[in-house]
Amino acid sequence: MTRVLVVGSDNREEQVLLGRLRKAAGLPPEALQRCVDLDQCDLLLVRDTPALRSAALHMASKRPSMRLWMHDDDGAVHDGRAATPVFLDDQQIQSALAPRVDVTTDGLYLASGAKQVTRLLRQRLQERKGRALLTLQGQPQLLIDFEHDQAVPLYLHPGAGPTLAQQLGELLELLALQELSPARYEALAENLSRQPLRPLLWQMAQHGDYWSDFERRLQQNAQMHLLRWPDFRVLAHQHDGFRLCSLLLKKPCSLSECTQLLDLDINATRAFMRSAYLCGYAEVKVPVDAPPPVPVAQKHGASALLARMWRSVRGRTGMHA
């Protein structure tokens, strides 16, 4: 938790300033709290006027570990200790206020790389046991609680850039999972926002090109069997997703069978299968004997009737020739 002492603003302005900092840092309300004791605060936030600036610098000089930020009338902030004022953007505020995670945790590395991470995620999701830290090239990205199916993002991705799910999916080969004890997990996640894990993983599987082995199995007529209904949040407003679930819960089907039986786009069906597989909702097995292709439904229109009559006439003509 970061304790902030605001100087030079009334109560309404103080709440607006704290709200802006929370939003920029991606923190829940309890992670950034108002403070009234100078010796207990972590951040001194002062309105930038000559008199207040002089007093703030004097107070900060005796407290080197305390951050000093100045703000203008519009709420823009800059580092009060810097020789030249440079206003901080949202990413810089987030970097300064978001909790720093020490990657030297009390657990062992469990998996690294796309294949190992995918395999372990599926295993732990099905077992519903354990907690882990997901890192990207050694940088902490996500705390995972498999038992409660929760995720705790450790980095706020800018709105204009890729989402967390997109970045993790596109860089799957660079990810690693590290084991955490329950106590260590709670210490790291104490004041951070938690979110459902599987919808995040579902979106991860929609990105990246690290699925060549999975795609190869689908091309070998691998059959997918859905073990249970997915979280309804991942299927919101996806009518085709509900149809696929209904089919795959009844019987295992290959990619081609799904697309033909339900008349679906093959790419959308493949994306659904990737997500269901990564989230541990489904199993995929290549049958010993590849199933015969699904017969295309016969059309019973006038053109089909005319075609049958023509074949019949040709057959009779051939018999008497």
User: What does the pLDDT average to over 240-255?
Assistant: 94
Domain enclosing residue 236, as ranges: 211-316
Please say whether the dihedral angle defined by the alpha carbons of residues 116, 117, 122 and 127, taken in this order, is positive or negative.
positive
Give dist(CA 197, CA 150) in Å, integer: 5
Is 69 inside any structural domain?
yes
Confidence of residue 297 (pLDDT cuts 50, 70, 90): very low
Mean pLDDT value across the chain: 83
Whether residues 136 and 230 share a domain: the answer is: no
| pLDDT-based confidence at residue 316 (cuts at 50, 70, 90) | very low
Are residues 176 and 241 part of one domain?
Answer: no
Asked whether residue 113 falls in the same domain as residue 155, the answer is: yes
Nearest CA to 276 out of 238, 236, 237, 235 is that of: 235
- The rounded percent of the chain whose pLDDT value lies above 70 is 83
More confident site: 92 or 281: 281
Q: In this structure, are 245 and 187 located in the same domain?
A: no
Mean pLDDT of the region 197-201: 95
Q: Is residue 302 part of a domain?
A: yes
Domain match, 216 and 185 both: no
pLDDT band for position 305 (cuts 50, 70, 90): very low
- The answer to whether the predicted template modeling score (pTM) of the entire model surpasses 0.85 is no
Q: How many domains does the chain have?
A: 3
- Give residues with Cβ within 8 angstroms of 236, minimum separation 6: none
Q: Hey, which residues does 33 pair with through a beta bridge? A: 3
46 - beta bridge partners? 7, 70
Q: Which candidate, 224, 252, 217, 117, places its Cα nearest to that of 173?
A: 117
50 phi, psi to nearest 5 deg: -55, -45
Clarify whether residues 89 and 117 are in a common domain.
no
**CATH number, domain at 222?**
1.10.10
Dihedral of CA 181/110/205/241: which sign? negative
Instruction: Tell me the mean pLDDT in the region 311-320.
Output: 46
**Are residues 238 and 197 part of one domain?**
no
CATH number at residue 58: 3.40.50
pLDDT of 202 over the 90 cut = yes
Local confidence band at 145 (pLDDT 50, 70, 90 cut-offs): very high
Report the b/e string of 13-23 with b at 16+ CB within 10 A.
Answer: ebeebbebbbe
Predicted local confidence at residue 148, as pLDDT: 94
For residue 102, being part of any structural domain is answered with no
At residue 299 the predicted structure's pLDDT band, cuts being 50, 70 and 90, is very low
Measured between alpha carbons, how far is 17 from 10 in angstroms, rounded to an integer?
A: 11
Shared domain for 304 and 229, answered yes or no, is yes
